[in-house]
Structure 1
Amino acid sequence: MAKNTSPLTSIELFTGAGGLALATHMAGFKHAGLFEWNADACDTLRANAEAKAVPGLHGWKGRVSQGDVSHVAFREFEGVDLVAGGPPCQPFSLGGKHGGMEDRRDMIPQFIRAVRETKPRAFIMENVRGLARKSFATYLEYSKLQLTYPEIIRKSAESWECHLRRLQQHHTSSPRQDGLAYNVLFSEVRNAADYGVPQCRERIFIVGFRSDVNANWAFPAPTHSQERLLHDQWVTGAYWERAGIKRPKIPSNMLRKVEQLSKGNASAQLPWKTIREAVSDLPSPFADRNHRGDVFNHRFQPGAKPYVGHTGSPFDAPSKTLKAGGHGVPGGENMIAFPDGSYRYLTVREAARVQTFPDSWHFKGAWGEAMRQLGNAVPVDLVRVVADSVARTLGQSRTKACTPHTTSTSSKRSRSS
């Protein structure tokens, strides 16, 4: 059988400023549609498409759809290889109101609907670590089972608890997979810093492959570690040598840890990446403009100061998790704490570096709105690891496939019984 060389295709829900969409694009997926409701985020996507901020974006501009995804008919995209997205996380965020399954902002059902209507070969769903908390364990199982059997839909007036029981019964008693079904894999909480992102940002991923796809997939292993960073900083001093600065005195609260590290072998993994390493080659923030030369979104934002619960991110460690804030106003996580005791807010460009967006990617909107887009984004480099592995799996499956996927006549109807 000849190898299928046509590009992998995808649609992207809850695209935001484009972190996940960029990662899947770089992994080789051609986007047939990008869906986002926020006007500034849509402006960011269109502007970067028009400017060809990264190769191959010429088709994005006309594919950005602004609006509520609940009004989108996804059936026109049936046959894409991938559905990807990070449904709004406020219902499950540790910093939110924890409404979960009763929260009207829960968009996971819309992601499930997109899978049901498009029947992709695979999907990638990203979300906050709060979804993995014990209090949401039942809802997480419910979401995974709906993604496993997306055509077994919730009946009119049926509670989600009753729907869950029906899905569980089907999962444990059905001798065969009748109709559209997926093999769903769930990642434990993953820290972006463990994959080379200069930010401690914990996320979970739910990845699925259609049952006819010959997939032997597992979440990629971490490549970086905190232990190696601390070893390079306080045992060998290699970190400070790389930075070209004098090695500081070991902090008193690190003495015992350093003693332990010095007795063992250094981790074979790479060291965590720090804010210093991510931003040190940038010029000082601009006082009177957003852009200069090929440096974009780098205006100085005044007013940074520490207080209880607002202590900033140490310069020689990965950033704390960037937050969007209830009104687009950054919290202490969006502020750098320098070794000399001074503080300032990250510029938009520095925050983009922390989220591993390319420097060519421009962010539209005022500073607070741009920071909101970044606080809501997923690190490009973290998702790139996932997207690359999914793309490889789908590519390998293509070469092994003998017949295309078909859905039986009886299963083309959404099954409600």
Structure 2
Amino acid sequence: MLDLFAGCGGLTRGFVDEGDFRSSGAVEFDRSAAATYAANFDPTGTHTFAGDIADFRDVPPVDLVIGGPPCQGFSALGRRDPADVRNQLWREFVRVVRDSDARMFVFENVDRFAKTPEFDLLRAAAGEGGQLADFRTQVFRLNAADFGTPQKRIRTIIVGSRIGPVSAPVASHARRPTANLPRWVTLREAFLSGPVVLDPGVRDEWLPESFLDFQGRSVPGAFKLRDLHVTKRYDLTSEIRYAHIAPGQSRLQLPEDLQYPCWRRDPVGRSDVLGRLRWDEPGVTIRTEFFKPEKGRFLHPQWENGGDQVNRALTHAEAAVVQGFDDRHVWCGSKAEIARQIGNAVPPPLARAIARVVGDRLTAA
């Protein structure tokens, strides 16, 4: 398989975990993310293309192309500018699928991508008279929590095939437990009893001093997941502000003297800002600036009025666990670069579920 817009390799991690998939190449513009991908799946760095996909011309023949073009041009959190050049990157995806002679492709993007003109154009490309006329597409709207990720994250998945349709990915968890399915994985289970137990009292601030060579340039890393269990120092006013917010609450519950002036002018908007997570639910969608409490519902769930409190945002390690990564995955880059990689990643448990049905079709063909 070939992974386009590969990021840190969340999609590849899920497909490789299914056992029958092997990475033959990756394309990623962000050098630190490309280094992370290579550290996990391409130790020699020889088949990771760190550059603009428009310049990627030596396309290898593969069975499968996977990838998720940058979503900021479509995201409800962005400007949703129709002229955003990122909205056109799906065309490069189509070109590489054609040039690779792949039998199938998997295209991942944000939920609202299915409501854009680009969605219709992509499906038309895999229709009569299109560049991928021998492909037929299926569209799935999937919530990562339904597949064992401790996070509510909804994504549009388009599977293209010229060897026959795939079955719908089968959920492994449910919002409410049933006779056949356990409930969604909660943050308590993910942080305190999962494959990586994380101490909520962490106060480390810096990544270890470590570097590796990636394609002739030095890059920070490779860091293990526990190395990413880092936070930042907050001033006293911020800690007092965070201490007022119980699980499930947000900046709306702050007394007026702790509100920022802009919040006083807008007393009801942005209700998730400065929100605290709940132990017994999955997390919300991890974004690239999860380490800033003012950016969303990212305060640690540990809170007891008058008792033990953890008044900080999620650490990088916690955010990676919420995305479904375990301690096999290593990371390269600065704190800010790794945060961007984590926030942009496809959760590996979701990727595994997709890989299962794609693998079944490729095997049967």
TM superposition shift of 1:71: 1.3
Task: Please point out which of 48, 72, 93 is paired with 1:64.
Answer: 48
Task: Please point out which of 352, 374, 377 is paired with 2:345.
Answer: 377
Give yes or no for contact 1:34–1:65 (8 Å, CA) kept in 2. Answer: yes
Task: Please point out which of 111, 122, 130 is paired with 1:152.
Answer: 130
* 1:333-348 mapped onto 2 (5 Å cutoff): 333-340=297-304, 342=309, 343-348=311-316
TM superposition shift of 1:180: 4.9
Give yes or no for contact 1:225–1:270 (8 Å, CA) kept in 2. Answer: yes
Task: Please point out which of 135, 147, 151 is paired with 1:199.
Answer: 151
Unaligned runs of 5+ in 2: 209-222, 243-249, 253-272
> SS of the counterpart of 2:185?
coil
| Structure 1 residues 271 and 339: CA distance shift in structure 2, 3 A | farther
More moved, 91-100 vs 118-127: 91-100
Question: TM-score, length-normalised on structure 2?
Answer: 0.77
Q: Which residue of 2 aligns with 1:244?
A: none
TM superposition shift of 1:312: 3.0
Give yes or no for contact 1:17–1:42 (8 Å, CA) kept in 2. Answer: yes
> SS of the counterpart of 1:226?
coil
Question: How far apart are the structure 2 equivalents of 1:17 and 1:46?
Answer: 9
Q: Which residue of 1 aligns with 2:175?
A: 226
Task: Please point out which of 239, 244, 251 is paired with 1:307.
Answer: 251
Question: How far apart are the structure 2 equivalents of 1:355 and 1:58?
Answer: 23
* 1:276-291 mapped onto 2 (5 Å cutoff): 276-280=188-192, 281-283=197-199, 284-287=201-204, 290=207
TM superposition shift of 1:295: 2.8
Offset from partner CA, 1:151-182 (integer Å, 9 cap, x none): 735xxxxxxxxxxxxxxxxxxxxxxxxx8510
Give yes or no for contact 2:203–2:230 (8 Å, CA) kept in 1. Answer: yes
Question: How far apart are the structure 1 equivalents of 2:137 and 2:78?
Answer: 27
> SS of the counterpart of 1:224?
coil
TM superposition shift of 1:31: 1.5
- Amino acid of the residue matched to residue 188 of structure 2? R
- Amino acid of the residue matched to residue 65 of structure 1? F
| Structure 1 residues 360 and 223: CA distance shift in structure 2, 3 A | closer
Give yes or no for contact 1:355–1:378 (8 Å, CA) kept in 2. Answer: yes
Unaligned runs of 5+ in 1: 1-9, 50-56, 154-178, 229-265, 398-417
Is residue 14 of structure 2 the alignment partner of residue 23 of structure 1? yes
Give yes or no for contact 1:302–1:345 (8 Å, CA) kept in 2. Answer: no
TM superposition shift of 1:359: 0.8
| Structure 1 residues 293 and 374: CA distance shift in structure 2, 3 A | closer
Q: Which residue of 2 aligns with 1:73?
A: 57
Q: Which residue of 2 aligns with 1:298?
A: 229
Q: Which residue of 1 aligns with 2:180?
A: 268
* 1:3-18 mapped onto 2 (5 Å cutoff): 10-18=1-9
Deviation >4 Å, runs of 4+: 291-294
TM superposition shift of 1:267: 5.1
Question: How far apart are the structure 2 equivalents of 1:86 and 1:312?
Answer: 29
Give yes or no for contact 1:40–1:365 (8 Å, CA) kept in 2. Answer: yes
Question: How far apart are the structure 2 equivalents of 1:300 and 1:118?
Answer: 43
- Amino acid of the residue matched to residue 96 of structure 1? G
State the percentage of identical aligned residues: 30
- Amino acid of the residue matched to residue 124 of structure 1? V
Question: How far apart are the structure 1 equivalents of 2:26 and 2:298?
Answer: 28
TM superposition shift of 1:289: 5.3
TM superposition shift of 1:364: 2.1
| Structure 1 residues 349 and 121: CA distance shift in structure 2, 3 A | same
- Amino acid of the residue matched to residue 348 of structure 1? H
Question: How far apart are the structure 2 equivalents of 1:275 and 1:204?
Answer: 24
Question: How far apart are the structure 2 equivalents of 1:288 and 1:86?
Answer: 31
Is residue 40 of structure 2 the alignment partner of residue 48 of structure 1? yes
TM superposition shift of 1:358: 2.2
More moved, 309-318 vs 29-38: 309-318
> SS of the counterpart of 2:149?
coil
Question: How far apart are the structure 1 equivalents of 2:328 and 2:126?
Answer: 36
Question: How far apart are the structure 2 equivalents of 1:381 and 1:329?
Answer: 26
**RMSD (Å) for aligned C-alpha atoms:** 2.5
Question: TM-score, length-normalised on structure 1?
Answer: 0.68
Which one has the largest radius of gyration?
A: 1
